Amino acid sequence: MKKLTYLYMLLLLSGVLANTGCKKLDDGFLSPIIRYEEDPIIIQRGRVKVSSALNFDGSSRPVTVKLLHVYNRVTGAVMDSVFSKQYEIKGWTGLYDPKSDTTLELIGAKQKEMQVNPIVINPVSGQLEANFTTIYVPLGQYEFDLEISNAGGTKVYEKIGKFDLVDAKPYEAHPEIGTPYNRMIKVGDENTGSNLLNPEVTIKRTADAPNKVVVRFMDKNGVTFNPKANEIQRRPYPGNNPPQPFLQTMQDYSLATDLYDDRMEFSYGVVPFPLSSLGNGFNYYYRIPANLFTHDNQTSFPDGTYSANPRFVFRAFVPGTYEVEFKLIDLTKK
């Protein structure tokens, strides 16, 4: 009797296994609750932004992600025509190496003109990728639909993501990354001086090209000092045993420096510019010799006894031409 029972159980188990082996398993799984962890994704207009990847909730890989539609989140208007418009930029065809790519020609050899959308979706990860051409797109609150496919099928995920395009300067200066000043330093004693936190510094992005920063130093009447005549100099590094002879200037970061009677022009190749700091933030230090000006406060700074040492801060995030004007409001050029 026991043998018959064991035989029956063996036959039953074999039948179960046979049925399981013949059943076709699903080729893949596409989750209904794929989502972004960033909600909303914040994009500063004109800045590069890459969001975090989609959370695929265990969906089978690989997946293919496609942007379908973009909407104004406030009005509901379809914004496809705005975000499908393409703009020309210089894209990279090779890896940029700041140590060897030291001229515009060498950088240009690794770039080519490309037509790009302001915002795209990475087809593999679903990351939202924005570039500096968002500077041409209206500020606002947006949302978008995605089509996602894998071995498990294809599904449209309506209003799956949100992003806010917020205003931002194409550069950072004061107060974001530092403070401009004029330090009056006693002639012959680099360690004796006073910081005057009263200069007027204006910065404007004036053109999409070429990539350069134009710097002017002027007295309180708007009369410019002459870099070409050595009226604008590098400021010595203070201390008895300085690690380098001079504090950093914009020349230390630029590909080329051109001096004119009323300005300095610094050419650059990539943004952010500067790409990274040499060790003292993004401050730029200069000197105006004591014999070139009269200070309003003759009691503290009599003629010929103190040099003027202006410092400004700047970092560009959008390519183009920038103009920096530094007015020393208590100096009169001789």
Residues sharing a CB contact under 8 Å with residue 305, sequence separation 6 or more, in sequence order: 186, 187, 290
pLDDT at 299: 97
pLDDT, tens digit, 9 for 90 and up, residues 239-284:
777 788 999 999 999 999 999 999 999 999 999 999 999 989 999 9
Give the chain's count of helices (H) and strands (E): 3, 23
Q: How many domains does the chain have?
A: 2
Burial of residue 287, with CB atoms counted within 10 A of its CB: 0-12 exposed, 13-18 middle, 19 or more buried: buried
Average pLDDT, the chain: 91
Q: CA 51, 55, 59, 61: dihedral to nearest 10 degrees?
A: 30
DSSP, collapsed to helix, strand or coil, labels residue 21 as helix
The answer to whether residues 302 and 184 touch, using CB atoms and an 8 Å cutoff, is: no
Percent of the chain residues past pLDDT 90, beyond the cut: 81
pLDDT at 226: 98
Question: Closest by alpha carbon to 217, among 267, 174, 263?
Answer: 263
What's the full length of the chain, in residues?
Answer: 334
pLDDT at 4: 43
pLDDT at 240: 73
pLDDT at 57: 97
Percent of the chain residues past pLDDT 70, beyond the cut: 92
pLDDT at 98: 81
Same domain, 196 and 159: no
**Rg of the chain over CA atoms, in angstroms?**
31
Q: Structure pTM?
A: 0.82
pLDDT at 108: 87
Distance separating alpha carbons of residues 316 and 332, to the nearest angstrom: 31
Same domain, 175 and 212: yes
The answer to whether residues 311 and 174 touch, using CB atoms and an 8 Å cutoff, is: no
Residue 262 lies in a domain: yes
Q: Quick check: 214 pLDDT over 80?
A: yes
Phi/psi at 14 (5° precision) = -65, -40
Distance separating alpha carbons of residues 301 and 286, to the nearest angstrom: 18
144, 166, 188 — which closes off a domain? Answer: 166
The kind and range of the H/E element at 164 are strand 153-166
For residue 122, the enclosing domain spans 41-166
Same domain, 316 and 235: yes
The answer to whether residues 290 and 307 touch, using CB atoms and an 8 Å cutoff, is: yes
131, 166, 201 — which closes off a domain? Answer: 166
Residue 205 lies in a domain: yes
Q: Quick check: 6 pLDDT over 70?
A: no
135, 166, 197 — which closes off a domain? Answer: 166
pLDDT at 26: 57
The kind and range of the H/E element at 281 are none
Residue 310 lies in a domain: yes
Peptide bond into 242 cis (omega under 30): no
- Binned at pLDDT 50, 70 and 90, residue 104 comes out as confident
More reliable by pLDDT, 6 or 164: 164
pLDDT, tens digit, 9 for 90 and up, residues 108-158:
898 899 999 999 999 999 999 999 999 999 999 999 999 999 999 999 999
Q: Quick check: 334 pLDDT over 80?
A: yes
pLDDT, tens digit, 9 for 90 and up, residues 165-185:
999 999 999 999 999 999 999
Phi/psi at 295 (5° precision) = -90, 145
Q: Quick check: 2 pLDDT over 90?
A: no
Angle at 118 between CA 114 and CA 124, to 5 degrees: 85
